[in-house]
Amino acid sequence: MVMPVTPLREEIKNRIREAADIVQVIGECVELKRSGARFTGRCPFHAEKTPSFSVNPQGRFFHCFGCGESGDVFSFVMKYYRLSFPEALKELARRCHIDLPESRLSEADRQRIKERQMLYRVNEQAAALYQRYLLESPKAEEARAYLERRGVPAAAIKDFRLGYAPDPGAAGWSFATSHLQGLRLPVTVVEKAGLAVKKEHGGYY
């Protein structure tokens, strides 16, 4: 659903832009370090070794000198989380505790936003699980040794969300599925996220 451009919409958009801490929002996805009046880090939109991604808290915008990506907090949330503008508006309003006129979002939009949020949570939990397995499991020792030989530091493992999955087997096939279901995440959403496959005779792996 495309929200019409109205004075009310612009007012709400400006309120959210001013209330949202762009450094905090981006800092949840990118490791930022202060550099004078700005913050810098590795761009989340292209692979790079030297940080070229800059966040300006005063101007409330970001810019990557490597790939040219730039914009405000809405642009970042839309691109990073692959949301439409109404979805990004809703998410940032929630973060800032700003109420949106419910009539501006249809039931279909609300359901789509809810599903997106659930898919994001599923992927976040799965990424954390695989990364924890890589860093802590004795069975991932060979993988850790390989990364060390390749000169991949622990900081890069965390920055790029590297993970490791156990070998397939009775437990390996259902490793992520069992964990995510244990967090009371709907298995249908886990399947939609591409992290579970329905078995021919029932159940998931």
Q: Across residues 129-156, what is the average pLDDT?
A: 91
Same domain, 95 and 148: no
Angle made by CA atoms 118, 72, 4, in degrees to the nearest 5 = 75
pLDDT digit string (tens) for 82-119?
888 888 998 999 999 998 776 556 777 778 878 888 88
Query: Rounded distance, CA 108 to CA 158, Å?
Result: 36
Average pLDDT, the chain: 85
Same domain, 39 and 74: yes
161 has pLDDT over 80: yes
Same domain, 74 and 153: no
What is the model's pTM?
0.51
Indicate whether 55 belongs to any domain.
yes
The pLDDT-based confidence of 12 (bands split at 50, 70, 90) is confident
β strands within the chain, DSSP E: 33-35, 38-41, 53-56, 61-64, 70-71
Same domain, 72 and 11: yes
Of 20, 37, 47, 22, whose CA–CA distance to 159 is shortest?
A: 47
Indicate whether 2 belongs to any domain.
no
Indicate whether 83 belongs to any domain.
yes
Same domain, 72 and 123: no
Indicate whether 58 belongs to any domain.
yes
* pLDDT for position 96: 92
Same domain, 73 and 122: no
Same domain, 85 and 130: no
Number of domains in the chain: 2
> What's the domain range around 72?
7-105
Indicate whether 203 belongs to any domain.
no
Indicate whether 199 belongs to any domain.
no
Indicate whether 113 belongs to any domain.
yes
